[in-house]
Chain A
Amino acid sequence: MRTEDDLHTALQSLERHAPRLEAVLPGAARTRAQRRHPTVRQRPWVRTGGPILVAIAVVAAVVTPLAVGKILRGDTSQLTGPGGAAAANPTAAQVLNAAAQVAAAQPAQVPGKYWRVSIASTTLIPAGPNAHPYALRKTLSPWTTWYPVHPGNPNHWYIAYSDAGYTTTPATPGAAAQWRADGSPALPSAKLPVVRFEAFSDLRFGPNRMTPAQFESLPSDPARLKADIEHMVKNYSDSGVKYPHSLEVFGVITDLLDHEPITPQVRAAAFRILAGLPGIEMMGKVTDPVGRAGYMIGLEGGARKTFGEGRMLGGSITLVISPATGTLLAEESVATSQSSYVKSPPASGAIPGATSCGQVIFSGGPVVNRGGADSRPYTHDGRTYCVPRGATVKVLPSGDGMSDFVGWAMPHQGGVASENPLGPVVAVQPGTVTGAYVILGAGWTNATPAPGA
């Protein structure tokens, strides 16, 4: 019989399979000077050049609280039922087919020098006094990303610009009431210089990274596109959700729709495939985080993706689709009630906010362990952090207008670790949108990459 120690030792021996840094970060080969200073910035995507004081043109300034899970009656002129009449409460398939019809009729753009995409995203952050915390929706300034049409190599870096700033607003009507009760304190926001990032291309069709030009060859016939996707996802059954096959197809199509350089006709085919997926369901008429009207569509059983999870819960990925424009407006993660932590809270009950180190909190989702049991409080600039005992605290000025970076180093260990300062933790109701990835615009351009262009 083997012991657990044998297993631990054997696993440790697998460290030899760890990739070399250079393999995952081309250009990250360290110089001798950098080797002596492990925290020296050496990533290929660190900001280059001086700050550029130009704001991105497209700013998601207005954030609308979202109504989720309800069907609100409204403009359904784009939607037709089986008999050709407008459907008041359209099904997911009706919305998707209507979007497909609109997209199919749009002219395909001639590829230019760059495929340019502008994305904003939102997430929730806790705020307010520890006794009565509430959630703010934080909307990040848009990223504008430029993908060269012929990079020569699918791993060619793209160029992106963002000012890394953000705005906040109470996340729900209930949060707004609490915020007013709290004396309507100034809502956090930041406006920062635009920075330029470079990174690998992330354009792909399923598992295949492709250049913008290669997307031109995708079939616009739904049956052929579906066959290609089916081929990719066959034999997969490990997701543990109700419709694992649908989930995989949903995932590939979501990736394809959210910023890939596809023609309107391929987009139409993608909508038609979604319309025929088992388990696809209508979640209601909504507005996306920048106020555009659309329909929220998800997958029964939860389409979980690695997005938006963390302190404020994970959730199901849903798509906000506009039948009027024939486009995907946003991906949103919606808090579900499926978390085991929600169903069976521990005997100690939910703790609304953390005020000391080493507390374990059940925030309606993931267990939040503030600092760990063997940590001590450390206060800097009015905020309290949990620092492991025996560690040396390192305060690094942030240099970008945000709060300082408070980290620590353990003796005999390289690198610096950190945690966020202590603060309230908020449980969110199932159905709350916990994060969104908003497609503000996508298209071909012959312009030269520049901030605000």
Chain B
Amino acid sequence: MRFEEFAAARLPAVLRFAGVLTGDRGLAEDVVQEVLIRAHKRWPQISELERPELYVRKMVVNEYLSWRRRSWRLIPGGSAQDVDDRLTPDHALVHAERDALLAELGKLPRRQRAVLVLRYYEGLPDTVIAEILGCAPGTIRGYASRALAVLRVEMTPHPAREESTK
């Protein structure tokens, strides 16, 4: 797959993923732009991979987790209120609980947050998350259970996930 084909087919999904991962449009823009630059330069290698998109997501996660953002994005303002938030004032009650959850999510350490996004937004099995984050599936389960405990989310039995992490 050529880079242009990849970008045309997959970039919108990667953008959405970055938005969910970071919860901050400015940061998501920086992360994706940075990743695209590097992915483009090394596209001949990346396109050889089994799943270039997974690799690009991995780059997005690594970029998000990397220290660079810490110093780079500690610029006040900009991220607290987006235009879109102001355009959707309805469903206030549902949103109040959801926003409370999101606020707590925003306080999680980045790795824990990344695990939750990959698991509950991307729907990836823990083995793949482990590959993306470069650690063992057991570590992923540890991150997830700690994060879920903090967020007071009850885990439902999930045979497929248990199976895939053996």
Q: 13 pairs across A/B with beta carbons < 8 Å?
A: A3-B156, A7-B120, A11-B117, A17-B19, A19-B19, A39-B8, A45-B40, A199-B40, A207-B68, A232-B67, A306-B59, A311-B50, A369-B50
A419 and B50 contact, CB distance less than 8 A: yes
User: Are A11 and B121 CB-contacts (below 8 A) given A314-B134, A405-B5, A418-B1?
Assistant: yes
Separation in Å of the A427 CB from the closest CB of chain B? 15
What band does the interface of chain A fall in when counting residues whose beta carbon is under 8 Å from B? 35 or more
What 1/0 mask marks residues of chain B from 105 to 126 whose CB sits below 8 Å from any chain A CB?
1000111000011001100000
B105 and A367 contact, CB distance less than 8 A: no
Q: How far is the CA of A207 from the CA of B69 in the complex (A)?
A: 7
- The interface of chain B, by Cβ under 8 A from chain A, is 1-5, 7-12, 15-16, 18-20, 22-25, 28-29, 32-33, 36-38, 40-42, 44-46, 48-51, 53, 55, 58-59, 62-63, 65, 67-72, 82, 84-85, 97-98, 101-102, 105, 109-111, 116-117, 120-121, 127-128, 130-131, 134-137, 148, 151-156, 166
Residues of B within 8 A of A41 (CB): 4, 8
Residues of B within 8 A of A166 (CB): 44
User: Are A367 and B20 CB-contacts (below 8 A) given A125-B48, A306-B38?
Assistant: no
Chain B: which residue is nearest A42 at the CB level? B8
Residues of A within 8 A of B38 (CB): 202, 306
Separation in Å of the A202 CB from the closest CB of chain B? 5
Residues of A within 8 A of B110 (CB): 238
Judged by a CB distance under 8 angstroms, whether A217 is at the interface is no
- The interface of chain A, by Cβ under 8 A from chain B, is 1-4, 6-21, 23-25, 38-43, 45-46, 121, 123, 125, 138, 140, 143, 164, 166, 197, 199-200, 202, 206-208, 232-233, 235-236, 238, 240, 248, 304, 306-311, 314, 340, 346, 366-370, 396, 398, 400, 405, 407, 414-420, 435
Q: How far is the CA of A436 from the CA of B55 in the complex (A)?
A: 18
B19 and A11 contact, CB distance less than 8 A: no
Select A10's contact among B37, B41, B68, B98, beta carbons within 8 Å. Answer: B98
B37 and A415 contact, CB distance less than 8 A: no
Residues of A within 8 A of B37 (CB): 199-200, 202
Would you list the 9 A-B pairs with minimal beta carbon distance, nearest first? A18-B19, A415-B9, A17-B19, A310-B49, A236-B67, A207-B72, A19-B29, A11-B121, A14-B20
B5 and A21 contact, CB distance less than 8 A: no
Residues of B within 8 A of A18 (CB): 15-16, 18-20, 25, 28
User: Are A407 and B40 CB-contacts (below 8 A) given A10-B102, A41-B4, A311-B49?
Assistant: no
Separation in Å of the A133 CB from the closest CB of chain B? 15
Q: Contacts A6-B97, A15-B19 given; 20 further ones with Cβ under 8 A?
A: A4-B120, A7-B101, A19-B25, A24-B15, A25-B7, A25-B11, A42-B8, A164-B44, A202-B41, A207-B72, A236-B70, A238-B109, A310-B46, A340-B130, A370-B50, A414-B12, A416-B5, A418-B1, A419-B50, A420-B49
